[in-house]
Chain A
């Protein structure tokens, strides 16, 4: 009698436990490639997405403990409501309000990137957080101190143990957890995506006009569906007093002077200002740059040299339609995704 009683309790507990587990798996879908996206570039084989690791990465992303004086987190300059960019700031504002030299890029669809930062200086997403964490005008901390602070905290040791199954918090675990959060920042539910995936939505006539112009004049660099071809190009911006030579700083190759990563055009509506130094506050200004302000130089991209006057001629009407189309790349659901928010 007693044995039967215990047996049923054990069975009951197991059933409840199993149900619970199922429910969790259902809620956390892991990483999914949108139907209209290519295969991701990230090496998931060495960092398989799990709920514990992702949630740990999210906690780290929003934790100011990672900065030298515990004042700013990754999320301070990569704000979800601005598609994880630093809306309104031409260049990033780091620790003690120090200014960087470049615009904080949006964190989205990084799983499809094979290089990071405006100059591509980082070639593995797992190594990327080291740059802002240790930069003196960003978070100004050492990796050594980051580990020390995490090990001394009340909650991190058990969270790392739960996620990675290791007693000791390691550099690799911190970086891989942060990668998990960034990888999960997938923006793929703009109107453009719904149209492309045939989910019942269609472009308006104006959007369709803009799409045609886009395909003729923009798509060779801002290639669909990620709206970047991941290349580095000089788009003819006049160098400022800072004379930022972009990718040349990383390769030391003169042919790379003034080239920068082609940024994605997704979520443009939320990520102003534009360009690597945030010099354009509006999309009109950005389009006008291509129309009339492209600066001739030795490394200017060949695609901008096709006409006698460098650049891409755009009539006012074409610009109007392009702006209408570009709005279809805004993904409001990405900005509101609770899974990606500070908890």
Chain B
């Protein structure tokens, strides 16, 4: 009798573990943990804050002292054409180089295999105009968003890079790009909200299950910030904040995200 019970338990365990390994079976009522890792690099090198020295195509050598950007409004697409959109309140993340707790976005998504990843670099215009009581978590100007909010021209800074370069004629050879602009509240103005969609198939599709964690590993190539659609010269543009040229920088950085691999 005891034997039968043991056998039953063991076979049940084997059965259930087999089931887990069978990635074709998903229960969309279950949610699994998915993280999206933002691995900042410069060309072929890992980005080393303060110490790494890099050169752009204008021949300007630079170091990076600060790199932060907002990722929001994440959604994932399946092969069957359906999309899962992460509830908006759980979909705001500040990525910060040098802060281990802030190198990824952690979300919960229904079990399944996903072929595309879409996110915004920045904060959607609606949230930029919402009541202050709805600006909590990553959006709290007294918390995570400290230094990522313009008080004088109400709105979030989407992307912030600061560093030094001998090409800069500013004080301390500083360069700084603080990029924001959600399109304006009552009058229309620059809109630097960028939506990025990545095909996950070449690098490996994430297979999300309740019982495990899945990680989408992205490479974020800061070299593309300076050299892509346009070539940005630190000498000519040492400080870019809320001005028309910021759109050129945002157009460049929208292309710096690449899917490298997935850890299933």
Could you list which residues of chain A lie within 8 angstroms of chain B, going by C-beta atoms? 43, 46, 114-115, 117, 120-124, 126-127, 130-135, 142-144, 146-147, 170-172, 174-176, 247, 249-253, 256
Contact = CB atoms under 8 A, between A and B. Distances in A.
Contacts of A249: 153, 242
A143 B131 contact: no
Interface in B147-204: 147, 149, 151-154, 184-190
B131 A43 contact: yes
B143 interface: yes
Given A130-B149, A135-B151, A250-B153, A120 B186 contact: yes
Contacts of B147: 142
B186 A123 contact: yes
A219 B154 CA distance: 30
B77 interface: no
Contacts, number: 86
Contacts of A253: 187-189
Contacts of B243: 252
Contacts of B143: 144, 171
B211 interface: no
Interface range, B side: 20 to 34
A123 B151 contact: no
Given A130-B149, A135-B152, A46 B131 contact: yes
A46 B141 contact: no
B141 A171 contact: yes
B133 A127 contact: no
A140 B146 CA distance: 13
Contacts of A115: 186
B162 to A, nearest CB: 16
B132 A175 contact: yes
3 closest cross-chain pairs (CB), A and B: A143-B142, A130-B151, A131-B151
B136 to A, nearest CB: 8
A124 B185 CA distance: 10
Given A135-B151, A143-B146, A253-B187, A126 B131 contact: yes
A156 to B, nearest CB: 14
Select the residue from B147, B184, B187, B190 with max chain A CB neighbours within 10 A.
B187
B140 interface: yes
B237 interface: no
Contact of A146 (B135, B142, B188, B189): B142
8 contacts: A120-B186, A121-B153, A123-B185, A130-B149, A131-B152, A144-B142, A170-B142, A171-B132
B45 to A, nearest CB: 33
A124 B244 contact: no
A8 to B, nearest CB: 45
Contact of B141 (A117, A123, A143, A247): A143
B244 A252 contact: yes
B132 A172 contact: yes
Contacts of A251: 184, 187-189
A284 B149 CA distance: 41
